Each structure stands twice: as structure tokens, then as C-alpha cells.
Structure 1
């Protein structure tokens, strides 16, 4: 199954997100048979070099909303609106990109980069969502309040709405930046008053670190507190901007953050081995 993920180079957090991306790729290749495709808005750097050593296909793409996001960032004097939005909305490009590249798969997996694969996810091939399948966000049983950090996409049906969906996002972008970005766009566009138009992804494929420990979880999602923030969050005086995340700090988050760090060290060690091998050629 093809697996898509996306990142924008802008913003102060790029280096940390690049680390999370490496763990996502490392664990996907260690535990799954997924074929990785990276949607990237940025320049060549250490990350792209590392990804090429892992045979990840890199697809250069800029969100069609980029200029609008830049205007909002300038108007509000906060470049985070561009840094976050330019990456978040890249996933909405997948139906069009795959058509341009003549990728004929009807169903693909998308994840955010702050995930960690724990086992094979081959069962996802059996899912046949009408448009897309997603799991709940904060509350494990509330599928109406969904999270787009992991999605099974029905590309054919998403393409049938693509023009209208893009028009909707362009028209509502000033509101969407305050409504969880692309997630708000998918929720509002695909939801009606009496029912929601997305399928249920089993929670094991988007297991949050602030939920209880689950040995059956297949994809861990560092939704909220990130693994590289663990030391600061557990410090006696966490930085002010991280204090809202303290409600999500659990023993499971601490344990999974330690595991993430082990995977990151393993990914970097393989990078060093490969670099040394290249040097000695």
C-alpha cells in the first residue's frame, strides 16, 4: 500500500519535525510493507538526502493556498499561519497529485509525520471508505470529532469533489486557519447536519499517546505533546507555551517518548553507517 506524508520547510520547528519524520519512515520500513511518498515544500537538505538513502520518493509540491496563507500571516503578523498551514494543507493535494503522476491506486494511506509504526498495517488494504476513513481525536469513541492525522483516502471519490473542495477551502481559508486547518476543512465540507460522511478507522491505527497503553496499537500518533518535548514537559518549570500540553502528559506518553528516542537513535545510526560506507567507496 502506498503511504503519503507531507512537510513544509518553513518554521522554527522544521528540524524537530524532520526528526519525527525520520522515525516515521524508519519504523514504517522496519515493521511494514508500505511504499513511502513524501510531499515536500522546501529545499534540498540533510532530510532529503537521508530520505533518498531510504528510497523514499520525494514529490515537490506547494499548497494552492500558499499565497492566501502568506497574506493571513502578514495581516496577523504571525508567520506560523504560513509555516503550519502550508504543511497541513498539503494532504489535500494528494488526490490531484496521484492523478498527475498516474498513480492508479484507489486507496492510499496518509499520516502526519509525528507517528510511529508499531507493526504491519496490511489490514488497511481491506478498508473501502466512501471518501476517507479517520479515527477520533481526543475522545476515543467520538468519531464525529475526528482527526486527520491518519487517513485512508479513496482517491477516486475524493477527486470527484476536488474542484468544489478547493473552491470551498479558498473561500473559507480565513476561518479554517482558526478551525484546525485542513481537519476543519474536511469536517465542515464532508459533514451534514444528521450524519457524517467519513468512515470509521479503527483507533489502533491512530492511537494517541495520552490514551492508556495498548499493545494492539499499530500506529502511535504524538498528537499534542511531541516526543522531543518530554524533558521540558517533565521539568520543574515547563516553558509557558508548553503548559497547555501538561493535561496530556501520562505514563504512556513518557514510555512511548522513550521508545521514540530509541528508534530515532537507530535511524541516525543507520544514517552514519551509510555515510561511512559512501565515504569509503
Structure 2
């Protein structure tokens, strides 16, 4: 990462203020200790290559304790996670009845999206937790920074500085605060699910509708997207959009076989994808060193 340069200058505070993190801290003194990611059985098998890289990056570059909320059957991939030091917590979404009704035959595909809503109810021993999607890489230790969000600390969904929507793929959660407002948040989500619900946006749309005006904004380095460009200061890189496999297909002339948005994002910064795919590949090799796959006894 030492050769990586910023493609986008750091924003001036007066142009794009962010309040999180509040400053540096010693990791050993940081109450933020736990990293959560969530997945169902289908997602675990489909995205296991990236999940392995994410876990390896956390083990190599952070002092976080990894946890996985899992909704699915037993499988060899689950055994790998546990062997790699991930605490696996079997759990079904608390809104399962309403989600089944809203999604219909798509429920099995998308149920994993909603597991993150239950983290505040499952993690009761800590004041805060870090949630990420499964398509992330840790480049630095988030525990070297102090966080104190009112409810959640988040980054932008689209371009840097656009605050009309946050991306829920990386969130520092204030767990007691989220537990306190949970009845009202679930009420609003249930209302959405039974009133002309459309799968687009999934839980991120619901989280934005309830928390956007109260969210604290993080330095974009904590949810850095490859299409924003290379960044030597990135803490967490989030492949929100095309993954390495999609980038390979785009560059092989197969862009018409995937979502049009993937090529649009790729073309914003091919050099950003080059830089972070190289990190992904390094972490995938580190995952093999951590626990070989397929798992061998």
C-alpha cells in the first residue's frame, strides 16, 4: 500500500465535515472490540472467496474480534470460519415472518441482508460494535481510532460529500442507543414491508429512512470504495459494486452480461480497482496460510 496515492484529495472540513472518528486512541484502551458480518447459506457459498480475504485482512491488520451472524445450514465453509477464529452465531432475522411475506420466493436469497438489524440485541456486553458487509478488506486497525456516534457512524453511498444517503455496508454502532429506539425502528420497517414493498434498497433503505438525520458521518477512509480511486490512508476498503471477478469480466469485454452500473463504477477509477484488487489477492493468499481451503484434517 505504500505506493498507493490518493486519487481524490482529502476534503476540507468546512466543505465536508465529519465527526467520526473523534481522534486517535490506543487499541488496548478502545471499547470498540467486535467486528460483525452477516450472511446466509447461499451468500456464504457464493461469496466465500471474498469472505476469506476479509477475515484474513482482519486477522492480519486489526485487533478486532470477528463474529458472523449466520442463517443457513452447516457446511464446510462454516468450519473454515471457525478454524480461522471467527465466532459463528446461528441466527434468523427477527423480522422473518414479515420478510417472508414481503419477499415471497426471494426471501431465501435476501434474508441475510437483514441480520445486521439484530446485532444490538445479540451483543449486550459491549457499548459499540463495528458492522461491515462481507465484501470488505481491512488495511488498518479501526481500533486505533476513537468513535462515539449517537446511533451510527457511516459514510456516503455515492460520491464523497453526497449526504442524501448513507451506505450501510460499514457502520460503527452505538448498541445501547440502537436498542433504545429499536421498537420505533421495527415499527417503521414493518410498515414499509407491508405497504408496497420493493426489494431494491433492502434494509439499507429502511436504515436510512429511520437514521439518516441522526447519523454521524465518518471520514470516507473507513468505507473507501475502489471507484473513488487509490488511497494510501484507507482503513476499510469496500467493494461496493463490481467485485474482482466482475472487473475481470469487464476487462474481458463481457460488461454487457452484468449490471450496467458495474462498468460505470469501474470506469471512474480503473487504477483504484487495480490497487485494491492487488490487496484482495494478497489477503486471499494470507487466508490460505491462515487455514487452507478446502479444509484439511
Residue 53 of structure 2, aligned match among 7, 18, 23? 23
SS in 1 for 2:36: strand
Deviation, 1:208, is 0.4
Aligned 8 A contact 2:185 2:210 in 1 = yes
Q: Post-superposition shift, 1:227?
A: 2.0
CA separation of 1:234 and 1:155: change in aligned 2, threshold 3 A? same
Q: 1:219 aligns with which of 215, 236, 240?
A: 236
Give the structure-1-normalised TM-score. 0.86
Residue 2 (structure 1) aligns with: 34
Deviation at 1:14, TM superposition (A): 4.0
Q: What are the residue-to-residue correspondences of 1:262-273 with 2, within 5 Å?
A: 262-272=282-292
Runs of at least 4 residues off by over 6 Å: none
TM-score under structure 2 normalisation?
0.81
Is contact 2:155-2:219 (8 Å) kept?
yes
1:205 aligned to which of 206, 222, 231: 222
Whole-Å Cα distance in 2 between the matches of residues 92 and 170 of structure 1?
13
Q: Which runs of 5+ in 1 are unaligned?
A: none
1:253 equivalent in alignment to 2:273: yes
The equivalent residue for 1:97 is: 122
Residues 98-124 of structure 1: CA distance to partner in whole angstroms, max 9, x if unpaired? 23xxx2x11111111100001121234
Please report how far the alpha carbon of residue 9 of structure 1 lies from its aligned counterpart in structure 2 after TM superposition: 1.3
Query: For the structure 1 residues 230 and 269, does the alpha-carbon distance in structure 2 shift closer, same or farther, using more than 3 Å as the test?
Result: farther
Q: Which range moves more in the overlay, 172-181 or 255-264? A: 172-181
In structure 2, runs of 5+ residues without a counterpart are 1-32
> What displacement does 1:264 show?
1.2
Aligned pair in 2 of structure 1 residues 242, 268: CA closer, same or farther (>3 Å)?
A: farther
Give the 5 Å matches for 1:1-281. Answer: 1-10=33-42, 14-74=44-104, 79=106, 81-84=107-110, 86-99=111-124, 103=125, 105-124=126-145, 126-173=146-193, 177-191=198-212, 196-249=213-266, 250-272=270-292, 275=295, 279=297
Change (3 A) 1:242 1:256: same
Aligned residues: 261
Matches of 1:160 and 1:88, distance apart in 2: 22
Distance 1:244 1:144 in 2: 19
Distance 2:262 2:34 in 1: 32
- Conserved? CA contact 2:153–2:215, under 8 Å: yes
Q: Give the superposition deviation at 1:275.
A: 5.0
1:53 deviates by 0.9
* Alpha-carbon distance between aligned partners in 2 of 1:270 and 1:190, rounded to the nearest angstrom: 38
